Amino acid sequence: MKPGKNGSQLGFHHRPDGIWCDNVHLDSLAKKTGTPCYVYSRSIIDRQLMRFASAFKGLDVLPCYAAKANNNPEILRHIAGHTELSWGIDAVSVGELHLGLAAGFRADQMIFSGVGKQHSEIDLAVERGIVINVESLFELDDIIEIARSRGKLAKLGLRVNPNIDAHTHPKISTGLKKNKFGLSREMFDVALRRITEAPETLQLAGISTHIGSQITDVSPWKAAALQLVQLADAIHAKGGAALEFIDFGGGFPVRYDGDNEPPGVEIFSGIIRDSMAGAARPETKRLRIVVEPGRWLVAESGGLLTRVIGVKERFVVVDASMTELIRPALYGARHEIIFACNPTLPAVPSNGEGEGFEIVGPVCESSDVLASNIRIKHVPKKNQLAVLMQAGAYGYSMASNYNQRPLPAEHLIADDKVFTIRKKQLLLAPDPDLFDEPLDLPL
């Protein structure tokens, strides 16, 4: 990665005159644009893109970025335009499919995932030749019906649920039998039979799995990869299906809370290399490798800028809240936080009760806590700036209008310039046209 001007630091950091991101002074930015708002460093995304390319060098790999992590159209366009390695996209709704196409991702490098795909969504995927990662038998029925009526061949992946505990937060664990995701082995075999019986309508292009997010213990991920390779071998041994890809899913972790560095992307590419080398069948060894990183690509690039509204006892009330960043409330996620007045930080939230500060938002929920038990030397003052770090993934994309709060603006720092890549939503006014006419329903 090229350093910033004069070798200066990239990403979010302190300088004597306040908080900076790359070579942009965030107080000046915040004064101009207002808070709360998201700021992303394009250099950090580029760093991740280059690191990924180097970790997977020599492999036939198609990385499909999980757009749910951050679906800003400009960020999608940037990833689609990366020249070192061609990226595809993993989409979970018709909205994300359209965003991906508009951003310049090729339809034949897109994967459509999700447990509850609707007719109109399947229809678009079949029409555009987008691979559908099938997660249930009822979905397969819908695909057959739609592909037949369109006279098209639907390209499928089968997502297996390996019943493996990812050892991550239960709410981001997806690979256990009790989770709603993927096909059990029994369902997988039924789906495989149905696909072979309908070769004019269905093409099995690949198999996939995804056991969860923020995988810091790699052994379950390794077990799932091994299971997937064995499954590909078994399919090839039976003959019939000519697979094109094997999709190991996402889950590459991010360093959120000052804890030890989590396993890097190189460890995951190493697991894939070893698992593929261990395949019994030459057809399996030749498969194109798909992975679906989401947060790993964008989390570190983003920060949520917020200002202190006031301090009472241990509570630092800021203008950002769970509506901009719900991860702490939803998962107990711990994001580092930098305060302009505390230059030696970032401060790390710690678990449980303590004497530290609670960084809270204005929303009327006790769970509206952005960072807990924060130890800082200087008490923050009214209007001072703070940045919640590692907020580039599952930040804006999970934001809501709860308490009638508008969605915040997003700004991208690129080559020391700042571009507004999404405007702050206008204040939500009641729609004057609603309820004038009753709905016209048959009685």
Residues carrying an active site annotation:
364
Q: How far is the CB of 127 from ligand PLP (least distance, A)?
A: 22
Selected binder of ligand PLP within 37, 66, 160, 345 (CB under 6 A): 66
Q: Are 314 and 392 in contact (CB under 8 A)?
A: no
Is residue 294 within the footprint of ligand PLP (CB under 6 A)?
Answer: yes
For 46-99, the DSSP string reads HHHHHHHHHHTTTS-EEEEEEGGG---HHHHHHHHT-SSS--EEEE-SHHHHHH
Is residue 117 within the footprint of ligand PLP (CB under 6 A)?
Answer: no
Alpha carbon distance 328, 368 (integer Å): 8
Nearer to ligand PLP, 36 or 251 (CB): 251
Contacts of 156 (CB under 8 A, 6+ apart): 131, 132, 133, 134, 143, 195, 202, 203, 204, 205, 206
Nearer to ligand PLP, 208 or 306 (CB): 208
Is residue 121 within the footprint of ligand PLP (CB under 6 A)?
Answer: no
Selected binder of ligand PLP within 35, 72, 93, 113 (CB under 6 A): 113
Dihedral of CA 145/146/148/152: which sign?
Answer: negative
The tokens for 338 are 């930098």
Strand partners of residue 159: 208
Nearer to ligand PLP, 93 or 323 (CB): 93
Q: How far is the CB of 115 from ligand PLP (least distance, A)?
A: 9
Q: Are 338 and 387 in contact (CB under 8 A)?
A: yes
* Among the listed residues 433, 217, 403, 428, the one whose alpha carbon sits nearest the alpha carbon of residue 322: 403
CB under 6 A: which stretch of 52-60, 266-274, 288-296, 366-374 binds ligand PLP? 288-296
Is residue 88 within the footprint of ligand PLP (CB under 6 A)?
Answer: no
Q: How far is the CB of 250 from ligand PLP (least distance, A)?
A: 3
Nearer to ligand PLP, 69 or 146 (CB): 69
Is residue 218 within the footprint of ligand PLP (CB under 6 A)?
Answer: no
Please identify which residue in the block is written with the tokens 């809501």: 400
Is residue 210 within the footprint of ligand PLP (CB under 6 A)?
Answer: yes
The tokens for 429 are 């006014």
| Alpha helices, DSSP H, located in 304-417 | 327-331
* Among the listed residues 181, 162, 161, the one whose alpha carbon sits nearest the alpha carbon of residue 171: 181
Give the H/E segment covering residue 40. Answer: strand 37-41
DSSP letter (8 states) at residue 214: S
Give the H/E segment covering residue 283. Answer: helix 282-285
Q: What angle do CA 381, 382, 383 make, to 5 degrees?
A: 110
Q: How far is the CB of 158 from ligand PLP (least distance, A)?
A: 13
Backbone φ and ψ for 170, nearest 5 degrees, come out as -55, -30
Q: How far is the CB of 310 from ligand PLP (least distance, A)?
A: 35
Q: How far is the CB of 130 from ligand PLP (least distance, A)?
A: 14
Nearer to ligand PLP, 212 or 380 (CB): 212
Note the Cα 190 to chain centre separation in Å.
31
Is residue 79 within the footprint of ligand PLP (CB under 6 A)?
Answer: no
Counts of helices then strands in the chain (DSSP H, E): 12, 20
Q: How far is the CB of 363 from ligand PLP (least distance, A)?
A: 25
Is residue 295 within the footprint of ligand PLP (CB under 6 A)?
Answer: yes
CB under 6 A: which stretch of 118-126, 272-280, 286-294, 426-434 binds ligand PLP? 286-294
Each residue 229-258 as x (binds ligand PLP by CB under 6 A) or -, in order, gives --------------------xxxx------
Q: How far is the CB of 194 from ligand PLP (least distance, A)?
A: 22
The HSE-up count of residue 329 (CA atoms within 13 Å, CB side) is 21
Nearer to ligand PLP, 249 or 380 (CB): 249
Nearer to ligand PLP, 20 or 181 (CB): 181
Alpha carbon distance 167, 145 (integer Å): 38
Q: Give the residue nearest to ligand PLP (CB).
A: 294
Is residue 90 within the footprint of ligand PLP (CB under 6 A)?
Answer: yes
Each residue 158-197 as x (binds ligand PLP by CB under 6 A) or -, in order, gives ----------------------------------------
Selected binder of ligand PLP within 292, 319, 368, 410 (CB under 6 A): 292
Alpha carbon distance 264, 261 (integer Å): 8
Note the Cα 37 to chain centre separation in Å.
19
Is residue 395 within the footprint of ligand PLP (CB under 6 A)?
Answer: no
Contacting residues toward ligand PLP, per CB under 6 A:
66, 69, 90, 113, 210, 213-214, 249-252, 292-296
